[in-house]
Structure 1
Amino acid sequence: MSVSTAFAGGWEKLPTPLTPWILDVISSMGHTQMTPVQASTIPLFMRHKDVVVEAVTGSGKTLAFVVPILEKLVRRERRLAKTEIGALVISPTRELATQIHSIFSLFLSSQPTSRQSLSPDEPSGSNVQLDSEPTYPPPLLVMSSDSAPVQDLQRFLSTGADIVIGTPGRIEELLLGKGSNIVSVKELEILVLDEADRLLDLGFQAVLTRILSHLPKQRRTGLFSATMTDADAMSELVRVGLRNPARIVVKVQSKKTKGMNASVQGEKEVVEERRIPANLQNFYMSCRASEKMLQLVRIIRHEVNQQQSSRFIVYFATCACVDYFYRVLSPLMPPGTDLFSLHGHLPPSARTKTLSNFTNSVALPTSPSILLATDVAARGLDLPDVDVVIQFDAPTDTKSFSHRCGRTARAGRKGRAWVLLVGREADYVEFMAVRKIPLKQKHRFSHDGSVVDQSDEDEDDPEVQSVVTIIRQKLLADRALHDKAAKAFVSFARAYSKHEASYIFRLKDLDLVGLAKSFGLLRLPRMPELKEVSTDGWADADLNWESYMYADKAQEAKRLAEAASKPTRSVEEIERRRAARVEKRKANTAWSSQSRRQEEREKRRDKKDRKKRWQKTQTSPGSESAEVKRGEGVPPSGSDEGDDWEDLAREERAAKRVKQGHLSQTEFDAEFADL
């Protein structure tokens, strides 16, 4: 059952009427009514209030600060000088900064023109034709992909931009570096931190502190995000300089009351029930590690054939995974599929180009477009017409979950999101439910698209091996793909071991061998995580590694040269040496452990023998001493035997505590190992 997005009335209902040309641009964008976050934020921001805004993805937060910034600048009594900045917008990523810049550019390119002022020497009744120019200059985008800091400063001086948008590092360079004596912030009206929690979490605290200390205190500040909890935002408010801010929270109500509401903290209490858009259907699928890639393919086929979906985003854990699967997934996808790759290790220009190509691609059910991405594409990006989001790997940062899902079901559209969970990862469902992100279970798909019967869910899918074979065929064509496969697998294991929900995502519980099948590896990589793992059910590809070639001739020549410089060894010899090293290590480990235990047993036996001998001497007729009477069998404190007896008694008491659970075995060994 779909739930429609609730709106908060027309733009004309704002307490302060908007400037006509700004209202015209909003109408041309198709926004005939305000969303709740816009209706709540814009009036406050326009009447000099600091705001902290938390709203689900796709709820219209960008316009909620773009419109007030433009209105503040339009209503200024004095135009800003060429070296003065009126508004500053800081974003955590280049992609989001570019998107915000494009929205400002759309507004400012549509503004009316004004006639240039006559020179003082020109008579007022002159009929000289004057050129017209925009009232406000275009915004300035500063980020490392387009230009150097010196070029940013040159563009600022040439355009006289009133609005500057950029990432923290480049903003700092413009204000405190190359332009410290040129760019003036004395007239700054508004500062906006978009995706504020991400800015505060990504290590930008020091940079932001320096920027904020440079800005005038008499300004309006807005913090905007979709996942900004009380602790995230309020604990940082003093540091970022907000004064008595209004907290605006948009909640998605339960299905009984449908829709979205917004309120301002202090005026009406709002409790958010869901942290995902109301129109989003959020599913999870539990499967074996070996079936993960197979189920991804079947979900895409199901969405294309049954739901007529055409535009997808698939999220992976690491850049190496995106880079690898981008190169090997084509044979598994529906015919005519266009794949796109986006991750943080790509050059900025390539990332911008990929986003543009994916956005502008002609996506149809007969030729779907699929973007493979990391979390670099999770926050803030307004990618139109995304029908489905699939999380191949659950995000390390749980906040990213809702941001990933929010790339679909935006601005009232319907959308679906899937996440694949392996083994005990199913506990993640309860983990997300606590965070107001409900997930509905979907059973695995069979080869014909039907749902697998629950009684058969514990059986291996026979099509897993065919997927492995298809991927391996791609890898066999180029040794470079094998290198990327191993790198992707290792990077995934490293990321998995650092998962934020480490009590759910435990590497020792993950079927790494099954996952290697899902990756289509030719052989298992050498890594510590696999040393103690059983390889039953795994078979390396039938391959002559000596003749396995790189497609790139220069790379292959380098490999051959390195091979020629090394002593020649057969594959059997290498494996034999490797097996010998493993056996030797096991033998040494076993011997050292056994030897230590034997020494401890001998020490205890010796102490018991000495105790018995001492007791016999003390119980002989006529040998009883005053000290023994007083201590009732305890030897004199000054004797060596007495010391040993006390140690033994203490050790026995500690052993009882270990059995009772009051003392750990580790603590016991540390205390008595040398006795």
Structure 2
Amino acid sequence: MAVPTLGSAWTALRPPLRQGILEAVASLGFERMTPVQEGTIPAFTQNSDVVVEAATGSGKTLAFVVPVLELLARSQTQLAHGEVGAVIISPTRELASQIFGVLDEMLRLSGLDYKPCLVVGGSQSATSTADELARMRELGPDILVGTPGRLEDVLCGRLKRGKKTKSGTITAAGGVRGRPSASAQRLEVLVLDEADRLLDMGFEASLSAILAVLPKQRRTGLFSATMTEGLSQLMRAGLRNPVRVQVQVQDRRGADSSSGVISERRIPATLTVAYLVCPPDRKLAQVLRHIQSSGPQKYIVYFSTCAAVDYFYRLLRRLLCPAAGAVPGGKPALRAERQRLARLFRAGYPISVHSLHGQMVQKKRQATYGAFSALPAGEAGILLCTDVASRGLDIPDVDCVIQWDPPTDPKSFAHRCGRTARAGRSGSALVFLNPGSEEAYVDFLALRKIPMVAGRYLWQGEDGSITDSAPPGVVGVDDDDDDEESEPEPESERGSEDSDDGDADDRAPAVKRPRRRAFPAAKYPPDTRSDELIDMVRDVAASDRDIYKRGNVAFVSFVQSYLKHEAMYIFRAKELPIIEAARGFGLLHLPSMPELRGRPTARFARYAIDTDTIPYLDARREEQRVARLAAAKAAAQESKSARKKLRKDKAEAWSNAREERAQAQARKRERIQRRDAAAKAREDEMLARINDPSLRELLAKDPLLAKQMLSGRDKSLRDMAQIAAGRRERSGPRGAQSLEAIIEAAREKRRAQAASRSSSSSSEEEPDDWEAMARKEKIRARLEAKTKRRRFTFNPGFSDEEEEQQ
């Protein structure tokens, strides 16, 4: 089937394309070129670098696949085994797989003998990666299509050790690369698809490493839907005098016929983007009502986080595709749940639910992408995804794109919407906005040349029909509800309370103004059917622990993502209706998180259930959970018993310690008494050895002196007593000498020594000068005391002069 476009025929290109390529394009159903193809292919095939900026869905893939094949066919160089002639780099695996599919189909239909190869990451082990590289070396491809990280491994060699900077150089000591699996020395063409996204996703280091091994004489093409500053830097680094192709979409429907003004758009003219401002706890009901009112179509629903995708995937699978094993209670419970859902959602046709995000393993991502793309037209399907599926993917027959959360990066908004209304087809997009500051997002996108129209809030009647008018009897919320949350006006804004003019009776009374609610209640009348749907979601979460836990994680990740919006002046965290958002996620209770501080958490109705009793529907997981819970309870009980025993032991230990201290003190007193008794016995024994009554009387009058003399501090008396005792033992009782005799013998010895030192020329004998000797002894003792510890010296109690007089 031919696709209607506004360009010229493919045969009008100059220089003309090869006949095989023209036949391949015709076989794919493209009779005429799109504007981006008509502006890019002639410049690219005439050996010029190109920078192409065009709206999503405008046919950029063929705009570079056709020139790549044409340039390789014109080249007279024969590529050897292991040499690569063209490289196409894509930011995501899904987009690389899609480009590879188009390239492979074009090669098959055109008859060109080139071997393409898809190289993307996502292998589960190093062994799998090594096997893939080995198979690629054995194949010897001519064209490589892949993601930057894996292409770096192929063209530059795998980095075994070391780290890279943004320029691609290895900085860590000992950094070693393995042998490249392919050579790019004879490369002809390099294409960077979604080039701005390549830089945003942090591939700058890998791109620098790849560009470093590519030859300078090559053709380079940069393709993107938006132009950024980083892309301009890449142009200056890798392109030489590029031709810039910028395709603008102009809308004539709103043009003023008199002035001839034509509005410019960054989205296809066949795409209608609507916005709906509604409380966050009504988004799920609006999505289901939109699906019910539109018939069987293919939808893509975008969320801000991977956790939100996982949660709503399992929730919608339970609601829209329930199976007997997915509902506890068997078939009766399944029938009851279907009947309850039929009151809230009646599609009348089967709907398949798929999920896709960046944290999924590669095989599952490929299977999901393939299954949703293979859905034929007329069948209903929903793909829940993150921004990993926002760029370049050409999923056929997508009728509507719903953005549950506006993207964190505003540049992704147009790419998300561009998954529909591709190649001239019509499509619609819907974005949900929270009441309050987010309404300014409409004007913000209008400045970015993305016009939007107001969407319709859909209602469900008692008969299940969907309309855009409120059912009869639905009235607005009473404004008196705000009185409970009112607060007094600040002092600076009151009347003339503090004015000195006039009496107190003339002062203006304090004015109470209502506190700003999470969203204006009067503008949004109650939607009982939406509330019933949220109650059903909470019942489902209370019966399935997997959904319950994933809901909490999804809500926390949503709040954290909301805080990272680049347009923070529009998406203000303080104005986020966080309580209503928690209800919209079907939470049973509010999680513990700092973002809830200061919020009116009392307005959240907690679900009456013990969360420990919520089971897993998987019997194995539930058995493991019960075992872990029992082990945790046993450990807690054991810990409690241990703490109780510890407290008891501490009390007993305190009592025992007091008794032990008393016993220790008693033992210490006994030791002191024994030591004192032993010392007293030793003193008595030594005193008994002294046979001088006058000295014993002197020591008896001065106990301190006796203790110092007998305790070992001064050994003179003790030594004398021991010498006297020894002589008595040797000579017997008759030979015992008194203490006075010992002292007299010592004096005689001193006199003899003094006499021997006296001068031999002296005619008369000098008398002993005991006073001079005493002074010398004192001086010597004083000198010794300066360097040694003063010792106690024995004083017999009389002087030498008294002895001589006697």
- Verify same fold: TM over 0.5: yes
| 1:516, distance to aligned residue in structure 2 (A) | 1.1
CA distance in 1, matches of 2:635, 2:357: 37
CA distance in 1, matches of 2:252, 2:246: 19
Asked if 1:352 corresponds to 2:366, the answer is yes
1:563–1:437: structure 2 CA closer, same or farther, 3 Å change rule?
farther
Query: Which protein, 1 or 2, shows the higher relative CO under an 8 Å CA cutoff with sep ≥ 6?
Result: 1
CA distance in 2, matches of 1:362, 1:212: 41
| 1:236, distance to aligned residue in structure 2 (A) | 2.8
Aligned counterpart, 1:641: none
| 1:544, distance to aligned residue in structure 2 (A) | 2.6
- What is the 5 A alignment of 1:329-478? 329-330=316-317, 331=319, 334=347, 335-362=349-376, 364=378, 368-423=380-435, 424-448=437-461, 449-452=466-469, 457-478=523-544
Asked if 1:225 corresponds to 2:239, the answer is no
- What is the 5 A alignment of 1:207-246? 207-229=206-228, 231-239=229-237, 241-246=238-243
CA distance in 2, matches of 1:173, 1:547: 50
CA distance in 2, matches of 1:150, 1:470: 49
| 1:548, distance to aligned residue in structure 2 (A) | 2.4
1:76–1:546: structure 2 CA closer, same or farther, 3 Å change rule?
closer
- What is the 5 A alignment of 1:39-58? 39-58=38-57
CA distance in 2, matches of 1:275, 1:421: 21
CA distance in 1, matches of 2:153, 2:95: 19
1:406–1:316: structure 2 CA closer, same or farther, 3 Å change rule?
same
State the SS of the aligned residue for 1:198.
helix
> Counterpart of 2:632 in structure 1: which amino acid?
E
| 1:228, distance to aligned residue in structure 2 (A) | 1.9
Aligned counterpart, 1:485: 551
> Counterpart of 1:340 in structure 2: which amino acid?
H
Say if 1:83 and 1:183, in contact at 8 Å, map to a contact too: yes
Aligned counterpart, 1:183: 182
Say if 2:157 and 2:181, in contact at 8 Å, map to a contact too: no
Aligned counterpart, 1:292: 283
CA distance in 2, matches of 1:247, 1:563: 68
Aligned counterpart, 2:630: 560
Asked if 1:504 corresponds to 2:605, the answer is no
Aligned counterpart, 2:30: 31
> Counterpart of 2:117 in structure 1: which amino acid?
L
| 1:455, distance to aligned residue in structure 2 (A) | 8.4
What is the CA deviation profile of residues 64-113 of structure 1, one whole-angstrom value per residue up to 9, with x for unaligned ones? 0000100111112132111211000111101011111111111222343x
Aligned length in residues: 524
| 1:434, distance to aligned residue in structure 2 (A) | 0.6
Aligned counterpart, 1:532: 598
What is the CA deviation profile of residues 615-659 of structure 1, one whole-angstrom value per residue up to 9, with x for unaligned ones? xxxxxxxxxxxxxxxxxxxxxxxxxxxxxxxxxxxxxxxxxxxxx
- What is the 5 A alignment of 1:575-586? none
CA distance in 1, matches of 2:603, 2:588: 14
Asked if 1:98 corresponds to 2:105, the answer is no
Q: Which structure 1 segments of 5+ residues have no match?
A: 113-134, 259-270, 570-675
CA distance in 2, matches of 1:207, 1:144: 13
Asked if 1:514 corresponds to 2:584, the answer is no
Pairing partner for 2:609 from 513, 520, 543: 543
Say if 1:315 and 1:390, in contact at 8 Å, map to a contact too: yes
| 1:480, distance to aligned residue in structure 2 (A) | 2.1
Say if 1:286 and 1:443, in contact at 8 Å, map to a contact too: no
| 1:409, distance to aligned residue in structure 2 (A) | 0.2
Aligned counterpart, 2:150: 170
> Counterpart of 2:423 in structure 1: which amino acid?
A
Aligned counterpart, 1:199: 198
Say if 2:475 and 2:526, in contact at 8 Å, map to a contact too: no
State the SS of the aligned residue for 1:540.
coil
CA distance in 2, matches of 1:363, 1:108: 27
| 1:166, distance to aligned residue in structure 2 (A) | 0.7
Pairing partner for 2:249 from 233, 249, 252: 252
Aligned counterpart, 1:321: 308
Aligned counterpart, 1:136: 113
Asked if 1:59 corresponds to 2:58, the answer is yes
CA distance in 1, matches of 2:214, 2:629: 56
State the SS of the aligned residue for 1:88.
strand
| 1:567, distance to aligned residue in structure 2 (A) | 4.7
Q: Which structure 2 segments of 5+ residues have no match?
A: 159-177, 256-261, 321-344, 477-522, 640-806
> Counterpart of 1:324 in structure 2: which amino acid?
Y
> Counterpart of 1:47 in structure 2: which amino acid?
Q
| 1:149, distance to aligned residue in structure 2 (A) | 4.2
CA distance in 1, matches of 2:142, 2:303: 39
CA distance in 1, matches of 2:236, 2:179: 25
| 1:232, distance to aligned residue in structure 2 (A) | 4.5
Say if 1:251 and 1:272, in contact at 8 Å, map to a contact too: no
Say if 1:314 and 1:372, in contact at 8 Å, map to a contact too: yes
| 1:33, distance to aligned residue in structure 2 (A) | 0.4
CA distance in 1, matches of 2:412, 2:588: 32
| 1:403, distance to aligned residue in structure 2 (A) | 0.4
1:384–1:568: structure 2 CA closer, same or farther, 3 Å change rule?
farther
Say if 1:90 and 1:167, in contact at 8 Å, map to a contact too: yes
1:217–1:313: structure 2 CA closer, same or farther, 3 Å change rule?
same
Between stretches 179-188 and 457-466, larger displacement belongs to: 179-188
| 1:462, distance to aligned residue in structure 2 (A) | 1.5
1:530–1:5: structure 2 CA closer, same or farther, 3 Å change rule?
farther
| 1:137, distance to aligned residue in structure 2 (A) | 3.3
Aligned counterpart, 1:523: 589
CA distance in 1, matches of 2:80, 2:350: 54
CA distance in 2, matches of 1:41, 1:556: 63
Asked if 1:77 corresponds to 2:76, the answer is yes
> Counterpart of 1:246 in structure 2: which amino acid?
V
Give the TM-score of the pair, scaled to structure 1: 0.74
1:521–1:76: structure 2 CA closer, same or farther, 3 Å change rule?
same
Say if 1:314 and 1:392, in contact at 8 Å, map to a contact too: yes
Aligned counterpart, 1:153: 133
CA distance in 1, matches of 2:96, 2:532: 43
CA distance in 2, matches of 1:547, 1:156: 53
| 1:143, distance to aligned residue in structure 2 (A) | 1.0
Say if 1:250 and 1:272, in contact at 8 Å, map to a contact too: no
Say if 1:169 and 1:207, in contact at 8 Å, map to a contact too: yes
> Counterpart of 1:495 in structure 2: which amino acid?
S
CA distance in 1, matches of 2:45, 2:52: 15
1:417–1:459: structure 2 CA closer, same or farther, 3 Å change rule?
same
State the SS of the aligned residue for 2:6.
coil
| 1:450, distance to aligned residue in structure 2 (A) | 1.7
- What is the 5 A alignment of 1:277-288? 277-288=268-279
> Counterpart of 2:370 in structure 1: which amino acid?
S
CA distance in 2, matches of 1:419, 1:184: 47
> Counterpart of 1:378 in structure 2: which amino acid?
S
1:328–1:375: structure 2 CA closer, same or farther, 3 Å change rule?
same
CA distance in 2, matches of 1:344, 1:256: 39
Say if 1:44 and 1:51, in contact at 8 Å, map to a contact too: yes
CA distance in 2, matches of 1:504, 1:443: 22
Q: CA RMSD in A?
A: 2.2
Say if 1:275 and 1:436, in contact at 8 Å, map to a contact too: yes
State the SS of the aligned residue for 1:356.
helix
Query: Looking at CA atoms only, which structure, 1 or 2, has the larger radius of gyration?
Result: 2
CA distance in 2, matches of 1:328, 1:363: 25
